[in-house]
């Protein structure tokens, strides 16, 4: 016999949505499955979920955490740190790749739990404060718990803690302040250049149409691809695991197959080239459509 109070709690749990993000996007559940945390190289660790990523840079003076995933990802991150022998409370700095609910949804909660300082680009800081509302491309489709950045960084500015240096490279387009972070890591006595690619997915089908909330989106994407092609990259990481084959590479790493599979400069170059091709294709299709719609002289 189930107690009435227990039955009521169970019914409320079943009926209430997990969050606005999970309610709005069913894929959030598949993106947010738990995975075993692991060391990527040196003091760099993977502590995220199955597709929405989160990275820990451990230092003797506290830790840096890049991206939160969804709000529902936070317990997974806490458990991952625990398994690796770290404490969530020792996180001193929070970094964000971009202000979308699947990468910033848990930042407010992480700030509350850790007291860490949040670092963001200027262009995305206002979107973080709005909790994703009035997104220049997505509108009000996906929102999250609002959070305020403690520090604003510009292109090439650095964040330092305990001997670790993270460099912000502004790569806008996906969002106006999309930030690709870079660092160097000591991998068995060898310096490796790490790129945490933000995202270069074209969310809007209208790059050329005048968007008063983001009028420079097409030129921003063009600039971003030039920046990404200029970056030295040994270890290719990104905001989504699917961008760099997180599942396949982590399995090969655990099996000890050859060298470190995350050292993948060719994969990085190929990915950037492929996404630039997607962007140019979308841009070309828009230009062709615009020409066809334009009245022709008789």
Mean pLDDT, to the nearest integer, of 86-90?
Answer: 97
Euclidean distance between CA atoms 200 and 213, whole angstroms: 19
* pLDDT tens-digit readout, 224-250: 999 999 999 999 999 999 999 999 999
pLDDT for residue 292: 53
pLDDT of residue 9: 32
Q: What is the pLDDT of residue 290?
A: 56
pLDDT at 269: 98
Q: Per the structure block, which two tokens stand in for 71?
A: 């709000």
Distance CA 92, CA 250 (A): 27
More confident residue, 142 or 27: 142
- pLDDT, tens digit, for every residue of 200-209? 999 877 888 8
pLDDT at 20 over 70: no
- pLDDT tops 60 at residue 103: yes
Does residue 132 sit in helix, strand or coil? coil
Q: pLDDT per residue over 130-169, tens digit each?
A: 999 999 999 998 999 999 999 999 999 999 999 999 999 9
The pLDDT score that the predictor gives to residue 211 is 85
**Helix 217-230 with 265-293: angle, nearest 10 deg:** 160
pTM value?
A: 0.89
Tell me the C-alpha distance between 1 and 171, whole Å.
58
> Please, are residues 199 and 98 in contact by the beta-carbon 8 Å criterion?
yes
Residue with the two structure tokens 């597709």: 51
């Amino acid at each position: 016999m189930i107690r009435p109070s227990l039955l009521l709690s169970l019914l409320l749990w079943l009926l209430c949505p997990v969050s606005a993000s999970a309610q709005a996007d069913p894929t959030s559940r598949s993106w947010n499955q738990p995975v075993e945390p692991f060391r990527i190289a040196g003091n760099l660790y993977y502590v995220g979920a199955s597709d929405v990523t989160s990275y820990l840079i451990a230092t003797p003076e506290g830790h840096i955490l890049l991206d939160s995933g969804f709000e529902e990802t936070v317990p997974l991150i806490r458990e991952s740190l625990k398994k690796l022998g770290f404490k969530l409370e020792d996180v001193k700095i929070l970094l964000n790749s971009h202000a979308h609910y699947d990468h910033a949804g848990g930042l407010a909660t992480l700030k509350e739990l850790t007291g860490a300082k949040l670092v963001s680009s200027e262009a995305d800081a206002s979107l973080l404060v709005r909790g994703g509302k009035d997104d220049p491309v997505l509108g009000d489709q996906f929102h999250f718990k609002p959070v305020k950045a403690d520090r604003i960084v510009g292109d090439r500015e650095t964040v330092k803690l305990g001997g670790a240096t993270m460099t912000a490279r502004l790569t806008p387009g996906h969002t106006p302040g999309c930030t690709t972070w870079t660092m160097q890591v000591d991998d068995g006595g060898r310096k490796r250049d790490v790129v945490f690619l933000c995202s270069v997915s074209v969310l809007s089908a209208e790059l050329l149409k005048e968007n008063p909330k983001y009028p420079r989106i097409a030129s921003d994407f063009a600039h971003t691809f030039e920046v990404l092609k200029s970056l030295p990259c040994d270890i290719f990481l990104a905001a989504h695991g699917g961008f760099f084959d997180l599942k396949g590479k982590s399995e090969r790493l655990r099996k000890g197959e050859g060298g470190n599979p995350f050292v993948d400069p060719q994969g990085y170059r190929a990915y950037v080239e492929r996404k630039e091709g997607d962007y140019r294709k979308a841009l070309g299709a828009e230009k062709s459509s615009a020409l066809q719609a334009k009245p022709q002289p008789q």
